[in-house]
Amino acid sequence: MIDEQEFAKRRERLAKKLSKNSVGILWSASYKTRSHDTQYPYRQDSNFYYLTGFKENNACLVFLKQDKEVKTILFVEPKDKLKELWNGKRLGTKEAKKMFHVDAVFPITDLEKKLKSSLKKSKNLYFDFALEEAKAKEIKKYAKDLDALQNIAPLVGAMRLIKSPSEIALIKQAIQITKEAHHQAMRIQKVDKKEYELQAEIEYIFKSKGAYSDAYTSIVACANGANTLHYVANDQVLADHALILIDAGCEYEYYASDITRTIPVNGKFSEAQKELYAMVLDVQLRIIAMIRPNILRSDLQKKSEKFLCQGMIQLGILEGDYKKLIKKQAHKKYYPHGIGHWMGLDVHDASPYKDDKGDEIPLKAGMVLTIEPAIYIDKDDISAPEKYRGIGIRIEDDILVTHDGFENLSFEIVKNIEEIEALFFTQQTFK
């Protein structure tokens, strides 16, 4: 878990980034309507949570910076017995002041008055430019005479690039739970079940182990469905002799995991499936081995494309000179996406890939990223060898950059062909 001292230090770091005579504002997330008068389960805004650890809605964090003095103020929903009867207990101002290391806590109803007063003494206003329109309009109404409006989100995003030990521990816990879910998907009988039944098995493990939410909508894509990158229908039959691409990860205490494994429905890879799978796995292992501080993600991308292109030539999927194929980007037909992305509070962490000068940010110790090479061959692609058509394979792990290299945080989730087959044939439990 992350303690209040760490949240307080994050606020101190952010305050130092704000200019003199400025106000910084971060809002909690709002409830999202599911249909008519029902809402989706509440999930706090990641930047707001990163700076407060506060999980309630209708809250606001304000930084007041005059010269070198900084005050942090938290506005929260006040206690109200009738509202709490319907919607659950609130922390309230008194308990929030005890819990959070801020200079003051006020009810959210005081925000407008306090904001008007503070902005009269300030020259700059920082807020999230992606803020919902109504709140952004309200803020700007009191900021007519300011020198500048500045986006606070990139400042927080840059801080989130390097994970603390407590953040890494939460990511590891999310991955441990996700490991159990993927192993369960590998070991159980699947032939003729529906994709959503397998999804249910996976997400049952998430919730039963204390991860109350998935980090993103699970992808359970059998056969040609795997060739749709963001396939989420999950409603097809798990056909005998086909592969299933499972991209599923849980969120534990707001921190994500992001794992993809591609496994056979009946527990046994065919020869053609083995050939493609072995090629993708070899590329993934080679790319992961390259990770260390000061390496550029773009270099990992280039290498992954080179290795995959060479593998496609060897398997007869592409024909011609390797350099000419790369120049024409012929391989992009079968590998159209990036090698990976930052991961943390969001599965695609909202952190920058370039610095303020536009230069790419090299890998540094404490960063967490995914590595996910793949190949996608549509069933109707007559230019590819027939035996490979309708197969999509992606293999994805979560990698921590260390001071002298890397740590594969998800190395315990089996991915070798022999391991996947052994897990099914020696440990399966029929349902």
Taking the C-alpha atoms of residue 219 and residue 71, their distance in angstroms, rounded to an integer, is 45
**Which residue out of 43, 286, 292, 337 is catalytically annotated?**
337
Strand 124-127 to 148-151 pairing:
parallel
Active site residue 359: no
The domain locations on the chain are 4-159, 165-427
Active site residue 372: yes
Q: What pTM was computed for the model?
A: 0.96
**Which residue out of 3, 37, 67, 145 is catalytically annotated?**
37
Active site residue 396: yes
**Which residue out of 376, 388, 397, 398 is catalytically annotated?**
376
The CATH architecture assigned to 165-427 reads Alpha-Beta Complex (3.90)
Taking the C-alpha atoms of residue 342 and residue 218, their distance in angstroms, rounded to an integer, is 18
**In this structure, what token pair is assigned to residue 315?**
């398997």
3-state helix, strand, coil split of the chain in percent (to 5) is 40, 20, 40
CA distances from 40 to 43, 44, 174 (A): 9, 12, 22
**Which residue out of 10, 11, 187, 394 is catalytically annotated?**
394
**Which residue out of 45, 214, 247, 398 is catalytically annotated?**
247
Residue 427, pLDDT score:
62
Active site residue 341: yes
**Which residue out of 167, 258, 346, 398 is catalytically annotated?**
258
Give the strands of the sheet with 405-408, arranged side by side.
368-371, 397-402, 405-408
List the chain pLDDT tens, one digit each, 431 residues: 899 999 999 999 999 999 989 999 999 999 999 999 999 999 999 999 999 999 999 999 999 998 779 999 999 999 999 999 999 999 999 999 999 999 999 999 999 899 888 888 888 999 999 887 777 777 777 777 788 889 999 999 999 999 999 999 999 999 999 999 999 999 999 999 999 999 999 999 999 999 989 999 999 999 999 999 999 999 999 999 999 999 999 999 999 999 999 999 999 999 999 999 999 999 999 999 999 999 999 999 999 999 999 999 999 999 999 999 999 999 999 999 999 999 999 999 999 999 999 999 999 999 999 999 999 999 999 999 999 999 999 999 999 999 999 999 999 999 999 999 999 987 654 33
Taking the C-alpha atoms of residue 65 and residue 152, their distance in angstroms, rounded to an integer, is 14
Taking the C-alpha atoms of residue 373 and residue 259, their distance in angstroms, rounded to an integer, is 12
**Which residue out of 133, 230, 271, 356 is catalytically annotated?**
230
The number of CA neighbours under 13 Å toward the Cβ of 241 is 6
**Which residue out of 372, 388, 397, 398 is catalytically annotated?**
372
- Per CATH, 4-159 and 165-427 having the same topology is answered no
Active site residue 101: no
**Which residue out of 56, 203, 396, 397 is catalytically annotated?**
396
Active site residue 160: no
Active site residue 404: no
**Which residue out of 196, 348, 378, 407 is catalytically annotated?**
348
Residues whose CB is less than 8 angstroms from the CB of residue 215 and which lie 6 or more positions away in sequence, other chains included? 174, 249, 250, 251, 256, 257, 258, 347
Active site residue 4: no
Residue 189, pLDDT score:
96
When the candidates are 3.40.50.2000, 3.40.350.10, 3.40.109.10, 3.90.920.10, the CATH number that belongs to 4-159 is 3.40.350.10
Active site residue 346: no
Strand 69-76 to 104-107 pairing:
parallel
- Cβ–Cβ < 8 Å for 309, 317: no
Residue 430, pLDDT score:
37
**Which residue out of 335, 341, 388, 397 is catalytically annotated?**
341
